[in-house]
Amino acid sequence: MNKLTYSYRGPLPLGSVVAHYCGAAGLTTYKEGPTWLLVGEEQATQYSLAVYENGTLQATFTGSLTNEGRLHIGGQLLRLLRTHQGLAPLGDWGTLVGVRPTKLFHKLWDQLGSAEAAIERLRTQYEVTEPKLALLAQVAGLQRPYVAPSADSDRLVSVYGGIPFCQTHCTYCSFPYGLLQDYKRVPQFVEAFVADSEHLQSLLATYHLQLATLYVGGGTPTSLGEADFETVTTALAKLLAYSRTAKALEFTVEAGRPDSVTPYKLQTMARQGVSRISINPQSMQDSILKAIGRGHTAQAIKDLYEYVRLHTPFQVNMDFIAGLPYQQEVHMIENMDYVCQAMPENVTIHTLALKRGSPLYEGVGREAMPEEKAVQAMVAYCKERLEAAGYVPYYVYRQQYMTSQTENIGYTLPGHECEYNIRIMEERQSILSVGPGSSSKWMRAPEYRQLQQHMPKDVSVYIDTLDTLLGKRSQLCKQFWEG
């Protein structure tokens, strides 16, 4: 039995708060004999939460019947769980849990009227430490023009296209789809994707929507063959006719793996108006790339980047992960040496998360994962190097189920931030989506998240039920924009 498991019984509102705090302490749910049993109760004037460890009552926490009361209980629970794990009662993020800390920052900014007041609230109520407060203030300040409430933003949307294929499965990734070469119905997928995109185009016209940004991710969109890649990007590029300005719109395509990119696919993207691509090294050592199943070399990254700089107008993002099997601090120094010489417009530093469903989670290379302290040092080193080279952080998110106090940070050279990444992270603009596994979210101030639709992850289910899915999307648009 896993030591870090819990089970909750009790009212739902308290349960969802408990789930967040247990996640922040690295606990996962487990029904059969969990280490921690948590029993919640809604009484006349308060909630109570009884906390049992292996059947022995450790504490009972109480809080008022409000969100604040629930958060108070959550904070107490986090302290107890961390202490029992031999950790300091609170880490750098205090009692602030959840994957999007800047989302709360913006909400507090709206409610309290200033960034300073938001900082003060996070300091006193959530006990967030000064370095994290400084990071949040910097990121939220840069994001604010995109997320401040405004009257004319209701019909401004972003679009996400999801291509559900890769050529190999990286060991750390919980990618839920099949490999391209194993899937027998790629032509039907392409047909369905185009129909999905055309349907979305008709919705943009019907509801007089304006496009803010366009983003194609996956999987690996460039894993498609050249003709199929051209067909899907051409279908999506038609949406650019609904751009909010006459200026070229931000249009990103993830071309993460150099082994999936050809000059023809790059020319196709340039023709279709793509403005930004992602080329993702993860780490720049062949032995590590091989161990994580990437199927490309560090030299292939360098060659592709050079080619892109010479032959295309694209802005470039590069993703890295700290904490990969066999990775040491010296490797991260090499990675940052390369980045600071290449100077892509955006760099994203992730901390490795053990994701259920990934080969790593099942044990492949797990014994070679570096210690948490070494990972923290790598993340800190990246921050130092990137900031010294002129990069600034522009979005930040945390992983669920991580006891470590690191976070994932997107850095940008000033003025080159990816607007879509801010939009998806802060959830203040409707994002409509095309493709299996993608999600549409209809959002409006002041509550923001109002309606949502998730496309099925199974590509065949997506193909076979597309008509019903598109009918549902039409209905949700009508409900949202015609009330």
Closer CB to ligand SF4, 126 or 175, in the complex: 175
Site map 220..249 versus ligand SAM, x via CB under 6 A: x-----------------------------
256 binds ligand SAM (CB under 6 A): yes
Q: Which residue in this structure is represented by tokens 């009227």?
A: 113
Scanning 121-129, 154-162, 188-196, 251-259 for contacts with ligand SAM by CB under 6 A, the matching segment is: 251-259
Closest listed residue to residue 37, CA positions, set 27, 24, 26: 27
The correct pick among 63, 219, 410, 437 for binding ligand SF4 (CB under 6 A) is 219
Site map 341..360 versus ligand SAM, x via CB under 6 A: ---------x-xx-x-----
Beta bridge partners of residue 254, listed in sequence order: 278
Site map 358..377 versus ligand SF4, x via CB under 6 A: --------------------
Closer CB to ligand SAM, 7 or 260, in the complex: 260
Q: Which residue in this structure is represented by tokens 């993830």?
A: 254
Instruction: Report what 392 binds from ligand SAM, ligand SF4, none; CB cut-off 5-8 Å by kind.
Output: none
84 binds ligand SAM (CB under 6 A): no
Q: Which residue in this structure is represented by tokens 């602030």?
A: 96
Question: What is the C-alpha separation between 273 and 271, in angstroms, rounded?
Answer: 6
Closer CB to ligand SF4, 72 or 257, in the complex: 257
Q: Residue 199 in contact with residue 319, Cβ under 8 Å?
A: no
Question: What is the C-alpha separation between 191 and 223, in angstroms, rounded?
Answer: 17
Beta bridge partners of residue 38, listed in sequence order: 8, 51
Least distance from ligand SF4 to the Cβ atom of residue 257, Å: 5
Scanning 24-32, 208-216, 250-258, 382-390 for contacts with ligand SAM by CB under 6 A, the matching segment is: 250-258
Question: What is the C-alpha separation between 35 and 424, in angstroms, rounded?
Answer: 36
The two beta strands, 46-53 and 36-42, are antiparallel
Residue 8 to residues 12, 81, 173, 362, 423, Cα–Cα distance (Å): 10, 14, 28, 26, 33
Q: What are the structure tokens assigned to 467, written together?
A: 């008509």
173 binds ligand SF4 (CB under 6 A): yes
291 binds ligand SAM (CB under 6 A): no
Q: Which residue in this structure is represented by tokens 């050279």?
A: 413
> If binding means CB under 6 A, how many residues of this protein chain bind ligand SAM?
15
Closer CB to ligand SAM, 280 or 285, in the complex: 280
Query: In this structure, what DSSP letter does residue 402 have?
Result: -
Question: Using CB under 6 A as the criterion, which residues of the chain lie in contact with ligand SAM when the complex forms?
Answer: 172-173, 218, 220, 254, 256-257, 280, 282, 319, 321, 350, 352-353, 355
